[in-house]
Amino acid sequence: MTTLRVYDLNQHVLAVDLKDLLRLLAPRSLEGRWVVSTVKSSISGDEWFEATGEGGEQLERLAQDDVQLSGFDLVALAEKTLQVIWGEFVGLEPTRSDKRWVIIRAVDSTFYEIDSDDEAVLNKISSTYKDVRTAEAPIVSWPLVSDE
């Protein structure tokens, strides 16, 4: 899979969110099923999901159990979410629920990571956003700042 990272900013704030990406990838994003989960770290036991707003709270609960839902249900929750800070959303093929077509990962409100082999997805991301970078591999760890 190719991994793209979107870093677009608007007044020093990430200018893209889950709802934007789901709209961009429609109608396919609506047709398939999605698995909502935490972002896993290479450090055993470290994982994150954080989102704000009414939809964000619901997504956070779903992520704890890797819940699968329809594209329409995910879009409805994303529309009620103010911001996804950490989270992973795996899009499954409409006709083959065992095959992934895209993975959308929010990373610490710093960037969105999109993994896909689908050229249409990669082209839409690259042509829509200004600051898109190709990554060698998906994120597997992230430095955390100690509260001490």
At 24-48, the pLDDT tens digits run: 999 999 999 999 999 887 676 778 8
Residues 6+ apart with CB under 8 A from 37: 49, 63, 66, 87, 88, 89, 90
CA distance 148 to 138: 29
Q: What is the pLDDT of residue 145?
A: 46
In one-letter notation, the amino acid at residue 138 is P
pTM, 2 dp: 0.91
Give the pair of three-digit tokens for residue 19. 């709802």
Q: Where are the beta strands (DSSP E) in 20-99?
A: 33-37, 39-40, 47-48, 50-52, 68-70, 83-92
Name residue, tokens 């896909």.
Answer: 116
Beta bridge partners of 107: 111
Task: Dump pLDDT digits (tens) for 15-25.
Answer: 999 999 999 99
- Measured distance CA(131)–CA(111) in Å, rounded: 10
Q: What is the pLDDT of residue 95?
A: 80
Q: Report residue 78: phi and psi, to 5°.
A: -60, -35
Instruction: Please state the rounded mean pLDDT for residues 80-100.
Output: 91
Classify residue 95 by its DSSP letter: S
Question: Residue 148 above 50 pLDDT?
Answer: no
Q: Are 114 and 16 in contact (CB under 8 A)?
A: no
Burial of residue 138 (number of CB atoms within 10 Å: 0-12, 13-18, 19+): middle
Of 64, 59, 51, give the one whose Cα is nearest residue 77: 59
